Amino acid sequence: MTNIVDDKKALICLIANLLRDCNHVAVGAASPIPGAAALLAKATWGTPRFVNILGSVDNNFFTGGGGELFDCAAQGRIDAFFLGGGQIDGQANINLMGRGDYPNCSPRWPGTFGSAYLYFLIPKVILFREEHTRRTLVEKVDFISAPGLSDEKTYRKGGPFGLLTSKAFFHFDKEKKRFRLVSIHPSSSLEDILDNTGFSFDYSEETPLTSPPDPALLEVLNREVRGKVAEVYPNFADTIFPVTSNAGHDT
């Protein structure tokens, strides 16, 4: 249990570092780890200055309705966003629709949400999927909810920055149109990643381990950010901030 909690906190800290150069980060509903990371970055460095968590009341400052997020994205007012998917392939195509032949997918997943739009317009889209298996990371997705790449005549200001899983972090190389392994989390290994990734990717035999989270960052997460996380993601907060382990850090 403790390892799972530590691993999730490490992911939060890793993502927080990726958001440090952003002014405005938006996070979709039901994305507790990216949401916690954005709140952590803001609390630690003051950047991103703006964090919008969809579905939250306290951590959402939009006053223009559900369409405001998309208008903001189209104007370049959002710097980073997160997308996931039941399947992600080596070309960074994502599938949020379902496995098998559309429309009678089995299983059917919720649907495409705003991905078919936001992927084109937000510069730093971080693909985040904890499950790192050949079931989720596939050679070719069954349904393209949003394409990773577009041809030259297509208006495209944004796209995939990288892919973070429970085992590794990959960077997406837009020139080569492939993922490149950046770092391996301590609980995994290169062999494990090769065994469990369904698409081919570039890597070096000397790929470094993912750096452990900075203790100061963890401290801010445990002390300052836990209350905010609990407002938005109560069940998730119960998992990563068990009451007993933080008795001395009540906010």
For other proteins, the closer of residues 239 and 251 by Cβ is 239
CA distance 249 to 251: 6
3-state secondary structure of 168: strand
Cβ 169 to other proteins shortest distance, Å = 25
**CB closer to other proteins out of 30 and 216:** 30
Residue 142: CA count within 13 A, CB half-sphere: 19
Residues in the chain: 251
Residues 25-64 that bind other proteins (CB under 8 A): 29-30, 54-55, 57, 62-64
| Beta carbon of residue 201, minimum distance to other proteins (angstroms, whole number) | 22
Separation between Cα atoms, residue 215 and residue 188, nearest integer Å? 21
- Each residue 96-135 as x (binds other proteins by CB under 8 A) or -, in order, gives xxx---xxxxxxxxxxxxxxxxxxxx--------------
Q: Using CB under 8 A, which of the segments 44-52, 76-84, 94-102, 175-183 binds other proteins?
A: 94-102
Q: Which is nearer to other proteins, 101 or 219 (CB)?
A: 101
What is the per-residue burial (b if ≥16 Cβ within 10 Å, else e) of 195-231? ebbbbebebeeebeebeebeeebbebbbeebbebbbe
Residue with smaller CB distance to other proteins, 30 or 209 = 30
Please give the backbone phi and psi of residue 172, each rounded to the nearest 5 degrees, phi first: -95, 120
**Beta-sheet strand order (sheet of 87-89):** 94-95, 87-89, 137-138
Nearer to other proteins, 143 or 161 (CB): 143
Q: Which residues in 136-175 contact other proteins (CB under 8 A)?
A: 143-147, 150-151, 153-155
Which one of 14-22, 91-99, 173-181, 185-193 is the stretch in contact with other proteins (CB under 8 A)?
A: 91-99
Smallest separation (angstroms) from other proteins to the CB of 209: 31
Per-residue b or e along 64-89, where b marks 16 or more CB atoms closer than 10 Å to that residue's CB: eeeeebeebbbeebbbbbbbbbbbbb
Counting residues that bind other proteins (by CB under 8 A) gives: 49
Residue 89 to residue 177: CA distance in whole angstroms = 11
Q: Smaller CB distance to other proteins: residue 98 or 213?
A: 98
Residues near other proteins, by CB under 8 A:
29-30, 54-55, 57, 62-68, 70, 74, 96-98, 102-121, 143-147, 150-151, 153-155, 235-236
